[in-house]
């Protein structure tokens, strides 16, 4: 199978300036994502043809991606039309697919997008999402999620601007949390797309196709968008390095990438 891995990051950020360029515990944040791709590629090299691209309007991020010498990376400089903070990420991923297909003269079967600012993932997480996609059940998209800590049926509320009162996000008569339907939080970590789904739509959207989820370990569903998020993420990562061998291998390999840069 031809697999295109993408890591997409804009320059700057309103919440946390240059967050994609930050170091986490002494290792570039980007390298956590490149690390798990590298580990997957080495594990599956006999089965899959792996292509990796980093897409950004930040020259520093593209240079950082290419500075390490262990994982071949195709840098894609993002055009101005796709660089705004209101541009749907799926459009950027579609652009990666088109440019990578032309550059390598190969047609990827699936596209696996890994978010740079959600680095707590393992090779098993990535492999599980890919295996779910190619299970033969014709999913257009597989994305990662964790059981939600709050329920829109029971303890999530929304403000009514007309009278300043609050009500449940999903009105219901449930009186016990155990009775509500199961809900999940999207943890913004892994997205596996059928290439055809991206190619055939001018504006692909996550819930337009047939989709399913891959369940991941709950790590507080933290996506870095502020300095406080980053500080909390470092605390969580330190703990996981001591208690989760599968994630420690990702960290160790990220450090290896940084040593080779």
Predicted confidence pLDDT, tens digits, the chain (261 residues): 999 999 999 886 666 778 899 999 999 999 999 999 999 999 988 789 999 999 999 999 999 999 998 999 999 999 989 988 788 999 999 999 999 999 999 999 999 999 999 999 999 999 999 999 998 788 999 999 999 989 999 989 999 988 989 999 999 988 888 899 999 999 999 999 999 999 999 888 889 989 999 999 988 677 788 889 899 999 999 999 999 999 999 999 999 999 877
Cα–Cα distance for residue pair 74/53, rounded to 1 Å: 4
Is 188 in the same domain as 75?
yes
Based on the domain organization, do 177 and 190 belong to the same domain? Answer: no
Both 21 and 118 in one domain: the answer is yes
Same domain (yes/no): 138, 155: no
Residue 225: which of 58, 32, 14 has the closest Cα?
Answer: 14
Which stretch of DSSP H or E encloses residue 130? helix 123-133
Instruction: For residues 54 and 114, state if they share a domain.
Output: yes
Instruction: Give me the domain span that covers residue 153.
Output: 149-182
140 lies in the same domain as 229: yes
State pTM to two decimals: 0.94
**Tokens matching residue 250:** 């990702």
190 lies in the same domain as 169 = no
Q: Looking at the structure, tell me whether residues 233 and 165 fall in a common domain.
A: no
192 & 128 share domain: yes
- Number of domains present in the structure of the chain: 2
Spatial distance between the Cα atoms of 25 and 211, rounded to a whole number of angstroms: 35
Span 3-38, pLDDT tens digits = 999 999 988 666 677 889 999 999 999 999 999 999
**Do 100 and 176 sit in the same domain of this protein?**
no
Domain containing 249 — which CATH number? 3.90.550.10
């Amino acid at each position: 199978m031809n697999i295109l891995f993408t890591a997409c990051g804009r320059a700057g950020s309103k919440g946390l300036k240059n967050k994609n360029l930050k170091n986490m515990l002494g290792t570039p944040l980007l390298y956590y994502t490149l690390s798990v791709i590298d580990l997957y590629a080495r594990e599956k090299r006999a089965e899959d043809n792996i292509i990796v691209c980093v897409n950004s309007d930040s020259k520093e991020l593209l240079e950082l991606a290419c500075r390490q010498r262990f994982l071949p990376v195709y840098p894609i400089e993002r055009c101005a039309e796709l660089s705004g903070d209101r541009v749907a990420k799926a459009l950027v991923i579609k652009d990666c697919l088109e440019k990578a297909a032309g550059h390598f003269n190969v047609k990827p079967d699936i596209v696996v997008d890994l978010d740079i600012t959600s680095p707590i993932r393992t090779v098993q997480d990535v492999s599980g999402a890919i295996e779910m996609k190619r299970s033969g059940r014709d999913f257009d998209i597989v994305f990662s999620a964790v059981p939600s800590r709050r329920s829109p049926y029971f303890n999530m509320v929304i403000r009514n601007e007309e009278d300043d009162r609050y009500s449940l996000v999903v009105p219901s008569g449930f009186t016990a949390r155990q009775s509500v339907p199961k809900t999940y939080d999207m943890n913004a970590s892994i997205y596996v797309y059928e290439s055809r789904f991206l190619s055939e739509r001018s504006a692909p959207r996550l819930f337009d196709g047939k989709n399913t989820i891959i369940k991941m370990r709950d790590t507080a569903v933290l996506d870095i968008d502020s300095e406080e998020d980053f500080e909390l993420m470092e605390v969580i990562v330190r703990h996981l390095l001591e208690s989760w061998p599968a994630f420690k291998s990702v960290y160790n390999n990220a450090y290896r990438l940084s040593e080779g840069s």
